[in-house]
Amino acid sequence: MLILLPKKNASKQYELTVAGMQVQVSRKRIKNLYLRVCPPDASITVSAPLRVSDAEIIRFIAGKLGWIERRRRHIQQQPSSAPFQMQDGEMHFFGGNPYALSIVPCTAKSSVHLSDAGRLGLRVKPGSSAEERSRLLDSWYRQQLEALIPGLVETWQVRLSVRAQGWRVRKMKSRWGSCSPGSGHICLNLELAKKPVQCLEYIIIHELAHLRERGHGPRFASLLDKHCPDWKQRRKELARMPLLHGQDGIA
């Protein structure tokens, strides 16, 4: 195995070469090592505690080579997703269902509406740009998501006997959700508005469970098994849905 150490180990962000693979290392004030293979280029990143040595990081990566190869192969087999043009007939998703985009010129206030005919209508000013239409749709996605989240969070806080200090929705490039156990805050990906509600619920359960168990080890899996027995099926459902912007991770 060929291993090249970084020139400056003191740097908080640097690169290691392990088994011919470039690995981006980011040192943070965290307790555990986290490895990710990120779409769309299958790049490899490791988040590492400040106290962990490069030798420990290398051993950690070496122990995951089989998993890394499988993840890279999976990502590379995914069809590339071109940016949305925000034009009539373009396919978009909401709640796990496909909708054909319908652009409706309108001089009144811009708005979004769903039709029973399977169309997602954008009422916009004549001559509106793709960027303006995209912002309108994202705003609508956010409203729909933020209407669903409070009830789900409250339900699962009670069931898991935890209390989040807050939650927020934002665009995330490589993760469906994240949790900061130290602060008690969770973050949910805006893209979840496009997925079935059971996928959103799974991510909320997953992130809240981190308030009881930080890592993804056996105790964490047992916690999910107890409170959400079909969590593996929900995770598969989430992975099966179109990766419109390349997300495929949970933390």
- Which domain CATH number covers 112? 3.30.2010.10
Is 61 part of any domain? yes
Is 202 part of any domain? yes
User: How many distinct structural domains can be found in the chain?
Assistant: 2
Q: Tally the C-alpha atoms within 13 A of residue 95's C-alpha that lie toward its C-beta.
A: 8
Q: Are residues 209 and 95 in the same domain?
A: yes
Is 223 part of any domain? yes
pLDDT of residue 232 exceeding 70, the answer is yes
pLDDT of residue 249 exceeding 50, the answer is no
Q: Are residues 127 and 206 in the same domain?
A: yes
Q: Are residues 102 and 190 in the same domain?
A: yes
Q: Are residues 134 and 226 in the same domain?
A: yes
Nearest to 194 by CA among 237, 232, 152, 227: 237
Nearest to 210 by CA among 242, 188, 233: 188
pLDDT level of residue 40 (50, 70, 90 thresholds): low
pLDDT of residue 154 exceeding 50, the answer is yes
In percent, the amount of the chain with pLDDT more than 70 equals 88
3-state SS class at 164: coil
Question: What was the pLDDT predicted at 3?
Answer: 47
Q: Are residues 35 and 106 in the same domain?
A: no
Is 231 part of any domain? yes
**190/80: higher pLDDT:** 190
Is 134 part of any domain? yes
Is 251 part of any domain? no
Q: Are residues 67 and 127 in the same domain?
A: no
Contacts of 79 (CB under 8 A, 6+ apart): none
Q: Are residues 18 and 133 in the same domain?
A: no
pLDDT of residue 236 exceeding 80, the answer is yes
Question: What was the pLDDT predicted at 8?
Answer: 41
The helix or strand, by DSSP H or E, that contains position 156, with its residue range, turns out to be helix 130-160
| Residue bearing tokens 């079935």 | 196
Q: Are residues 191 and 125 in the same domain?
A: yes
- pLDDT tens for 70-93 read 888 877 776 555 578 899 989 899
3-state SS class at 208: helix
Indicate the pTM of the whole model.
0.69
pLDDT of residue 240 exceeding 90, the answer is no
pLDDT level of residue 242 (50, 70, 90 thresholds): very low
Is 142 part of any domain? yes
Pairwise CA distance, residues 187 & 51, whole Å: 26
Is 172 part of any domain? yes
Question: What was the pLDDT predicted at 9?
Answer: 43
pLDDT level of residue 239 (50, 70, 90 thresholds): confident
Angle between helices 231-240 and 197-209 (to 10 degrees): 120
Q: Which two tokens stand for residue 163?
A: 């209390």
Cα dist from 163 to 23, 182, 209, 225, 237, whole Å: 35, 12, 10, 20, 27
Pairwise CA distance, residues 243 & 27, whole Å: 28
| Containing structural domain, residue 27 | 3-77
Q: Are residues 97 and 156 in the same domain?
A: yes
Domain final residue, candidates 51, 77, 103: 77
Q: Is the separation of the CB atoms in 146 and 129 below 8 Å?
A: no
Q: Is the separation of the CB atoms in 206 and 225 below 8 Å?
A: no
Question: What was the pLDDT predicted at 143?
Answer: 97
3 phi and psi, to 5 degrees? -130, 125
Pairwise CA distance, residues 208 & 212, whole Å: 8
